[in-house]
Structure 1
Amino acid sequence: MYCLHYRPKKYLFERPTGATSSEISIQKIVKRVAKNVNIRKRVNRHTLRYSFVTHLLENGTNLCYIQTLLGHNSSRTTEIYTHVGIKNIKSLKSPFDLLDLGNV
């Protein structure tokens, strides 16, 4: 809804001039939207960042790409987000599982 209403061009939260919004403005927007859609958990501007990374990880995006998107210099910084993808570990298949060894 937000994107349809404000139609941001470069940044998700941008001023009418196209410049980025301040951290305080973004915080207010996030809290207002959460309240409007009855989210009762505490949210902040980082909630969007964590959600973004969670969805990327759940869809199999390579951690190196995520590191670049987030602007991290170190992969260790990006790795703090990987705990959210732990539930997907159970669905991983070993490369050996993919081999057809039935005729060996």
Structure 2
Amino acid sequence: MLSLIYSCGLRRSELLNLKPKDIDSNRNIVIIRQSKGNKDRITPLYRKMLELLRNYYKMYKPQIWLFEGQTKGEKYSEYSLQSVLKQALQKAEIQKPVTLHWLRHSYATHLLENGTDLRYIQELLGHNRSKTTEIYTHVSTKNLQQIKSPFDDL
């Protein structure tokens, strides 16, 4: 679940509302239906994530929701998802406070640092306004550090 949030830049509610049919392995996309603002969008589904999802599906065979709770057919709870994150942080010995939404922020920041155009990031995250996406330009310092000063050529 955490890997899917990060690899697709999902919101918590988007992850929990996914159904098995929303994973389109033929086109390598995840279809996010009725997200914030009641909009649908798609996001790329990468090979590694598809392999993880296939293994998960074989093991758990979800019926209605992609991620189901203890009872088949019931949606996985937000509380349980938060607990999964907390356990992962403990196992990784990460002391910093981390939220599920930070995985989404990290996805966007890493896309930007790898040269993805801000307009594509806006589309992938489902932002209506470019201003919302532009916060990631302030977060990323990697690209700033790679800029060569003209002074160095003097």
Compute the RMSD of aligned alpha carbons.
2.9
SS in 1 for 2:141: helix
**Which protein is bigger by CA-based radius of gyration?**
1
Return closer, same or farther for 1:55/1:27 CA change in 2, 3 Å cut-off: same
Please show how residues 87-102 of structure 1 align to structure 2 within 5 Å: 87-92=142-147
**Residue 104 of structure 2 corresponds to residue 59 of structure 1:** no
- 1:82, distance to aligned residue in structure 2 (A): 1.5
Aligned match of 1:40:
95
**Residue 120 of structure 2 corresponds to residue 75 of structure 1:** no
* TM-score normalized by the length of structure 2: 0.47
* Range with greater deviation from structure 2 (19-28 or 56-65): 19-28
Could you tell me the percent identity over the aligned residues?
48
* TM-score normalized by the length of structure 1: 0.66
| Alpha-carbon distance in structure 1 between the residues aligned to 2:129 and 2:118 | 11
Aligned match of 1:18:
66
Aligned length: 87
Give the number of the structure whose residues are more often strand, by fraction: 2
**Aligned partner of 1:59: which letter?**
N
Aligned match of 1:8:
53
| Alpha-carbon distance in structure 2 between the residues aligned to 1:47 and 1:69 | 16
Higher relative contact order (CA 8 A, sep 6+): 2
**Aligned partner of 1:74: which letter?**
R
- 1:21, distance to aligned residue in structure 2 (A): 4.6
Return closer, same or farther for 1:43/1:73 CA change in 2, 3 Å cut-off: same
